[in-house]
Amino acid sequence: MAKRNNDHISIQDALKEFVETNRLEKGLDKVNVADAWAKLMGNGVNNYTNSVNLERETLYVQLNSSVLREELSYGKQKIITMLNEELGKEIIKKLILR
């Protein structure tokens, strides 16, 4: 139940409460994860990225370069850690490169 009192509430807190109340958070996480991937991986990787999908706690990234896929597979845990830090919460537990 949303707070219904006269205390001042920041717009950020109000939006967060609205999102959580309406269960929009998972959808926003999917968008935020894709944005975080694009930001952290840079143009070099983004040019070879076809899609970024979050399903539960697994991030599926489709790449159109087998060489890049091989390179990134060595640093999976580091990528997961960087993305979670960027997102400010532990969203991704597993990374699948296709």
Type of residue at 4:
R
Mean pLDDT score across all residues of the chain: 88
pLDDT above 70 covers a percentage of the chain that reads 89
Taking a C-beta distance cutoff of 8 angstroms, is the pair 54, 27 a contact? no
pLDDT at residue 40 is higher than 90: yes
pTM: 0.74
- Closest among 11, 17, 67, 56 to 33, alpha carbons compared: 56
Range 16-38 average pLDDT: 81
Range 65-73 average pLDDT: 95
Place of tokens 């001042």: 8
pLDDT at residue 49 is higher than 60: yes
C-alpha 1/C-alpha 17 separation (Å) is 9
**Residue 60 binned pLDDT confidence (cut-offs 50, 70, 90):** very high
The half-sphere exposure of 56 on its side-chain side, counting CA atoms within 13 A, is 4
pLDDT for 86 equals 94
